[in-house]
Structure 1
Amino acid sequence: MTQTAPIKVTLIAGGVGGAKMAEGLYQLENVELSIIGNIADDEAFHGLWVSPDIDTLTYTLADVIERQQGWGVKDESHRALETLSILGDDTWMSLGDRDFGLHIYRTHRRRKGHRPTHIAQDIAESFGLTCRIILPTDDVVQTRVKTDAGWLSFQQYFVRERCAPDVRELRYDRIEKAHATDEALSALSEADVIVMAPSNPLVSILPVLQIPGILEAIKASNAVKIGVSPIINGGVVKGPADRMLASLGHEATALGVAQMYAEFLDCFVIDHADEQHVSAINQLGMMSSMKAILMKSREDKVRLASEVLAVSGVMGSWVSPAQEPET
Structure 2
Amino acid sequence: MSQSIETRDLTRIFKGKSETVKALNKVSLSIGEKEVFGLLGPNGAGKTTFIKILTTLLLPTSGEAHVDGFNVVKEADKVRKIISLVSGGETPGYGILSVRENLWFFSQLYGLSSAVAKEKIKGLMADLDFEEYANTRMAKLSTGYRQRLNLARGLLSDPKILFLDEPTLGLDVLTAKKLRSYIVDWAKKEAKGTVLLTTHYMAEADEMCDRVAIIDQGRILACGSPNTLKENLKENQIMKVETASIQADFGFIDKMVGVIGYSQTRNIQTGTTTLKIMVSDDEIFSKIMSELEKAKLKILAVNKTEPTLEDVYISLVGRGFEEGEAGTHA
State the TM-score, normalizing by the size of structure 1.
0.27
In terms of fraction of residues, the more strand-rich structure is: 2
In terms of fraction of residues, the more helix-rich structure is: 1
Q: Which structure has the larger Rg over C-alpha atoms? A: 2
State the TM-score, normalizing by the size of structure 2.
0.27
